[in-house]
Amino acid sequence: MEKTINLKINGTAVAVPDGTTILDAAKSVGIVIPTLCYMRKLNEIGACRVCVVEVKGARSLVASCVFPVSENMEVFTHTPKVLKSRKTTVELLLSDHDKKCLSCLRNTNCELQKLSRDLGCDEAKFGGETNAFKSDASSPYLVRDNNKCILCRRCVAMCAKVQDVAVIGANARGFKTHIGCAFGRGINDVPCVACGQCITVCPTGALTERDDSGVVSAALSDPQKTVVCGTAPSTRIGLAEEFGLPAGSNVEGKMVSALRMLGFDKVFDINATADLTIMEEGTELLNRIKNGGALPMFTSCSPGWVKYVETYYPEFIKNISSCKSPQAMFGAVVKTYYAEKNGLNPADIFTVGVMPCIAKKFERLRDGQSAAGAGIPDIDAVLTVREIARMVKRRGIDFNSLPEGRFDTPLGVASGAGFIFGATGGVMEAALRTVAEILDGKPLEKVDFKAVRGTKGIKEAVVKAGGREIRVCAASGIANAKAVLEDVKAGKARYDFIEVMTCPGGCVNGGGQPVKNAVQLNYMDIPETRAKPIYAGDAKNKIRKSHENPVVKVLYDDYFGAPNSHKAHEVLHTVYAARKKYKE
């Protein structure tokens, strides 16, 4: 039986399980103690000292994030002594911090800024020498500015423990300590997988996505360009949070209206090309099963995951589906089928992916992603949820008052299967709805494959269809994917089909989604909250199988002929190649 500890916090009686920290005990009775470095089960180092509290009988202030409660303990969380200590700590951080807040992408959403305001800090109290680090803008997807870094090490912990790539860490010592890559290399010169999870946990503006909104704005102003955008499944969920709406709100209609007001000529739904992905990927899986192809087959929708395999496990490249991602298929379809049908020159079409992901910025530059010919990329620019929100705000658009818009045709109708791509296990479930029905030769009685749902890091299931068993696995987060790969490599696990999402929880928790503060990161299940409206939208959709999407049927009837046809391979498939871990 679990032991209960009784204590008092600010005079209030509290009863919590043995082993609970003071931080968690205080939160259980509605008292929020500020933190900077702490992340539950990830970065419990007690280093920043912002969370200090007074404990009766203790010789000094203690770090509440790592200090366990004890019987009859008396804790005081906001005494003058505590507040003075926190204020001094933050003022010392500010003394070596680039305080250009008004031009920082994290302005008004910066944990250091909020703490400084709440504590009444004097940003100039401590003068003296300051560091002047060079920004690392070597990659096409991420920018690191160590002049805004507070050495909390949350990004380091995320990269090492959750994603298990560990390409960043603390360099140098003392006053010159900074976070970066080994030997001072740029992020583009090391085996980073471009997941952007470091950005989602950074409390300041030290880590941001490379902002491409200026490039897109220039295209929108070019009368020679037909500018079209495609929105990923989870962008319509994450975007709500950027405009003060509750997490888990679906703002699809307002998003479409906002994108039109920004000037996009066409607003398409990438859920539709997610359905197209299932047709190609599902057919490829069936062909591999029937003809002795390389199994297990891995999904190819998550570009960070594909880059990880190319870099760390090149022996598994043959196992990755050759299908382009839904974003790349969107660009390919627009610059081939759509261009031909509308008499447009593909070179004059500017395609924009609106994504929950920064790895999509890397993906658009991949070799082999050119359906319309050399020099004409499938995707011209990628904007994260955060970038789109900034563009909307700059244009003075009152997002929450917008009417409900509708996607343009032809890529404006999607199945529920396309929608659930946004959550971990969604691609797997969408594929099973089509593959199982084809193998059985009759309509499925139940289309919900709940065994692969949920935010658990690794999910397994055995699906019976067509007189055979299909062994499947869905993993999210690179550390979990690595564990699956190692089991497959060692012969400990046998699967036919494996879905991997680079980000924990899938695209709903992508590196381009709205950044949450420490309290939300530690006490809120962000992936689950954002996934709920995705499954709700699927359940309400009249079309719940990719192969029943009328748009997909028209694409095959008018253009591709059949899934995995020669034409489909030319336009919708790609190739992969082994990558060196470090550039020479």
Residue ranges of domains in the chain? 4-78, 93-209, 214-572
Q: How high is the pLDDT of residue 368?
A: 75
Q: Residue 513's CB: how many other CB atoms inside 10 A?
A: 30
Answer whether residue 1 shows pLDDT above 80. Answer: no
User: Thinking of the domain 214-572, which architecture would CATH place it in?
Assistant: 3-Layer(aba) Sandwich (3.40)
**Is the model's pLDDT at 516 over the cut of 80?**
yes
pLDDT digit string (tens) for 432-459?
999 999 999 999 989 999 999 999 999 9
Residues 6+ apart with CB under 8 A from 182: 167, 169, 171, 190
Contact predicate 206/148, CB 8 Å: yes
CA distance linking residue 369 with residue 364, whole number of Å: 7
Sheet (strand 468-476) strand order: 297-298, 497-501, 468-476, 458-465
Nearest to 458 by CA among 475, 482, 481: 475
Mean pLDDT computed over 69-95: 97
pLDDT over 80 (residue 395): yes
Structure tokens at 35: 């933190």
Share of the chain above pLDDT 70, in %: 100
| CB-based contacts of 52, cutoff 8 Å, min separation 6 | 61, 62, 63, 64, 82, 85, 86
Closest CA to 389 of 503, 194, 240, 517: 240
Q: Which stretches within 111-251 are classed as H helix?
A: 111-119, 154-157, 197-201, 213-220, 235-238
- The yes-or-no verdict on residue 369 having pLDDT over 80 is no
Q: What stretch of H or E contains 521?
A: helix 518-523
Beta-carbon contacts of 297 under 8 Å, excluding residues fewer than 6 positions away, are: 284, 285, 288, 319, 320, 321, 496, 497, 498
Residue 208 has phi, psi (to 5 degrees) of: -145, 160
Overall average pLDDT of the 466-485 stretch: 96
In the numeric block, the tokens 């030319």 are attached to: 570
Q: Which two tokens stand for residue 58?
A: 């203790």
CATH number of 93-209: 3.30.70.20
**Nearest Cα residue to 38 out of 24, 25, 17:** 24
Report residue 69 as tokens: 């409660």
Query: What pLDDT does 222 receive?
Result: 97
Chain mean pLDDT for the chain: 96
296: preceding bond cis by omega (within 30 degrees)? yes
Q: Which two tokens stand for residue 431?
A: 């594929």
- Percent of the chain residues topping a pLDDT of 90: 95
Give the pLDDT confidence score for residue 169 in this predicted structure: 96
201 HSE (CA, 13 A, CB side):
25
**Rounded mean pLDDT of 178-185?**
94
Helix ranges (H only) for 408-494 are 416-419, 426-440, 478-489
- Kindly state the helix (H) or strand (E) to which residue 5 belongs, with its residue range: strand 4-9
445, with CB counted inside 10 A (0-12, 13-18, 19+), is exposed
373 band by pLDDT with thresholds 50, 70 and 90: confident
pLDDT greater than 80 at residue 427:
yes
pLDDT in tens, 204-230: 999 999 999 999 999 999 999 999 999
Return the higher-pLDDT residue of 554 and 583: 554
Q: Please answer whether residues 490 and 84 qualify as being in contact, where contact means their C-beta atoms are separated by less than 8 angstroms.
A: no
pLDDT of residue 129: 84
At residue 162, the pLDDT reads: 97
* Nearest alpha carbon to residue 527 among 317, 238, 246: 238
Q: What is the average per-residue pLDDT within 253-263?
A: 98
Return phi, psi of residue 463, to 5°. Answer: -110, 130
pLDDT digits (tens, 9 = 90+) for 536-572: 999 999 999 999 999 999 999 999 999 999 999 999 9
Query: Whole-angstrom Cα distance, residue 426 to residue 418?
Result: 8
Split at pLDDT 50, 70, 90, the class of 2 is: confident
> Does the pLDDT value for residue 584 go beyond 80?
no
Provide the CATH topology of domain 4-78. Answer: Ubiquitin-like (UB roll) (3.10.20)
Which residue do the tokens 């319509």 mark? 236
